[in-house]
Structure 1
């Protein structure tokens, strides 16, 4: 049974691997046996993640790309593929901007959509083309609780995460015939940089925690099992699914 979850011999590209959820996923995939290409927005951004993986006996290397820059995303795909086949893609890199909808700056709207949606689609497209040739691959997108609801003062982030859920299903429909599984993880409320503003808002923090049946916010490591599952042979018949890892938030 353990072999179902082994990622030995697989190479994974994880964006947003410098910290938070991306780092936790990169570490988890490495612990399951994958060689991990850790991508971040700066040349040295993923160094700590790479060092942690390699010091623990795993195998990792760093790549960098500004996910808001289409040309840089194209180059990231080329660099990853130049190193050999990429069997697993995790689109975790993301950004958020908070402002009332009637005052939301369009330049920030475009940036959020470029990073959260366009980069994920472009990487899926480029790496997916190679997966189609090999008749094997796993793509994991990072969705959100805001793939289901509207949120407050985050219209661009909400739009991008609704779209990620839709793109996940669209790619699964086209690529399942090629033995490629495309799924998403929708994290609940996790203690990361992206939620720092919510954590600091005493009233909102308390209201959110009160609604979570688990009684706490998630820690990045709480995503490890879900990521390994969706990247492994254990999920070979799971496709187009958005897996909520939310401490029970959606059940409330």
Structure 2
């Protein structure tokens, strides 16, 4: 990753922070965007709240050429359908889909210039499996999957790859309420064929791989990093 310029949106915690640490160790030049500067990460940071400010206004410090973009922000809004309001769906769509679209729009020219860039987005295993209480996030992440495939087709002539990672339950601050005590953690383990829930490093390692030249023939894919949940019974 040496001499590669990588933009990570949402690098202050969870998967994004784990990815930033990995890429920093590999020698990448990091640019980060989000509400707070990620601790322990050497990056050019651009303050951006995905729900408040257009990305084009915030991304003023991007380099002339960008080799990778990773959009990490997400939501977990688990409620029965009758308790989810239209505003809940709009908020989840705004953060998961429109935020990604805004970030890619604002970076579009610098990404195309590289002629070898990689864009990594995030879906969820719940977009593949029918899971109760997940309708809002499933709607938003299913849209992310559609965006991934359409952009992959459109940008392939420029040798820009677009893929999405679909995790299952991962130990991040966003999912902390699902792993709040020993009983919940044990239940989380048992839900997965590999008998454990995920770590940020599990997911970040795949994102890091998709940014490398080793993944240069991978595009338009939704990659399940989910302990087998999405494929095994």
TM superposition score normalised by structure 2 = 0.90
1:124 is displaced (CA, Å) by: 1.7
Q: CA 1:98/1:189 → structure 2, altered by over 3 Å: closer, same or farther? A: closer
Give the drift of 1:100. 2.1
Structure 1: distance between partners of 2:125 and 2:167: 6
Distance 2:184 2:141 in 1: 21
- Number of residues paired by the alignment? 232
Partner residue, 1:68: 51
**Bigger share in helix:** 1
Rounded to whole Å, the distance in 2 between the matches of 1:22 and 1:53 is 11
1:215 aligns with 2:198: no
| Conserved 8 A contact 1:109-1:156 | yes
Unpaired runs of at least 5, structure 2: none
**What is the distance in 2 between the residues matched to 1:28 and 1:13?**
13
Report if aligned partners of 2:4, 2:29 keep a CA contact under 8 Å in 1. Answer: yes
What CA distance in whole angstroms lies between the structure 1 residues aligned with 2:68 and 2:160?
10
| Alpha-carbon offset, residue 113 of structure 1 | 0.7
Moved more, 169-178 or 223-232: 223-232
Query: Deviation string for 1:174-230 (max 9, x for gaps)?
Result: 111110010111112111122223223877654442231221111111123212210
In structure 2, the partner of 1:15 is 9
Aligned to 2:26: 32
TM-score normalized by the length of structure 1? 0.84
Instruction: State the shift of 1:244 in Å.
Output: 1.4
Aligned-pair Cα RMSD in Å? 2.0
Q: Is the Cα contact below 8 Å between 2:9 and 2:72 reproduced in 1? A: yes
State how 1:82-101 maps to structure 2 within 5 Å: 83-101=63-81
- For 1:234, the equivalent position in structure 2 comes to 214
CA distance in 2 between counterparts of 1:80 and 1:146 reads 35
Q: What is the alpha-carbon distance in structure 1 between the residues aligned to residue 151 and residue 61 of structure 2?
A: 21
Does structure 2 conserve the Cα–Cα contact (< 8 Å) formed by 1:128 and 1:137?
Answer: no
